[in-house]
Chains A and B, each alone.
Chain A
Amino acid sequence: MLQLRFTCLLCFAVFAAFLATSAVHAHHGWAWASDEEFEITGVIQSVRLGNPHGRVTITVDGEEWVVEVGQPWRNDRVGLTKEMLSPGREITVHGHRAAEEDMRKVKAERVVIDGKDYNLYPGRDS
C-alpha cells in the first residue's frame, strides 16, 4: 500500500516537473526581459566576456546601458570577440530590453558593428 502511494507521488512529481519545464522553456534566462522587440545604438564603454554570459556596457545619450551578449561558445560561433567590442566603438543591439522601465539592460539577439551583423540567436526573430 505504502509502495503504491510512493509510486503515485513519484509519477505526480515527474508530471509536475514536465509541465513546469515546458512552460518556462521558451524563456530560459529571459525572464526579466520584455517580449517586445527592441533596438538601441550606443558607444561601447567597457566589456567583460565569459560565463555565464558576457556583459557590454554602452553609453546612449549620456546614460549607461548594460547589454547581455552570449556565453563564450555563442559569441565564438558568430566570431564576436573582445577586440571587436573594444571601448569607443559604435554598436547597435537588437533584442529585448528589461521589462522594468527604469532598468537599462538589454538581452542581445543580434548586434551590428561596422555595418556587419552578428546574429547570436539565428533561431529567433530580431
Chain B
Amino acid sequence: MTEQLLVFVEELAFVSALRNSTFMYPLVNAGHILGISMLIGGIVPLDLRLLGLWRNYPVMVFVDVLRVTSAVGLGLAILFGALLFATAAVDYVGSPLFQAKISLVLLGVLNALILGRTFKRMDIQSLPMRARMPLALRAGAALSLGVWISVLILGRFLGYF
C-alpha cells in the first residue's frame, strides 16, 4: 500500500521530468540548500544568544529576526526537499539515514514550538539586558543546536551512503 503510493509519487509526470532534467534538479537542490542555510544561519546565532553569547544586545532582536529567518528557511528546505524526495521516494523511505533525519526534523520543530511558548510564559522581554536565560530556555537552545546540526550532517550523508 505505502509502496504503491511511493511508486505513484515517483511516476508523476512532473517528478519524472525533474528526475531526468538537466537544470531543474540542480536548481531544486540549490533551493533546498538555500533553505538549509537560512535555517542554520538563523538558528545558530539565536541559540548561542540564548546560551549566553552577545549579551550586550537585546535578546528580543535575536528572537524576532532570527526566528522568522529560520522558519522561512525550514519552509523552503521542506518544499524543495519534498521535490527531491519524490524523485526517489522508495529509496529514501527505506533508508535508515533518511528516517533518522526526518525524526530529528520533527524533534527540532517540536522543540522550537515549545521554546516559543516558553518565551511567552517566562516573559523574556522584561528580563534585564544581560540576564542569564532560564534553564528551560538554555536547555532548549542546546538541544536545538545539536538537533539541527545533526539534521544537516545526516542529510549530507544521505548523498553518499
Residues of A within 8 A of B (CB): 31-32, 49-52, 71-73
Contact = CB atoms under 8 A, between A and B. Distances in A.
B22 A50 contact: no
Contacts, number: 22
B20 A49 contact: yes
B18 interface: yes
Given A32-B160, A52-B159, A72 B87 contact: no
B25 interface: yes
B19 A50 contact: yes
Contacts of B88: 50
B24 to A, nearest CB: 9
Max chain B C-beta neighbours (<10 A), residue from A32, A49, A50, A72: A50
Contacts of B56: none
A73 B24 CA distance: 12
A72 B20 CA distance: 6
B21 interface: yes
Given A50-B87, A71-B25, 5 more contacts: A32-B160, A49-B20, A50-B20, A51-B18, A73-B22
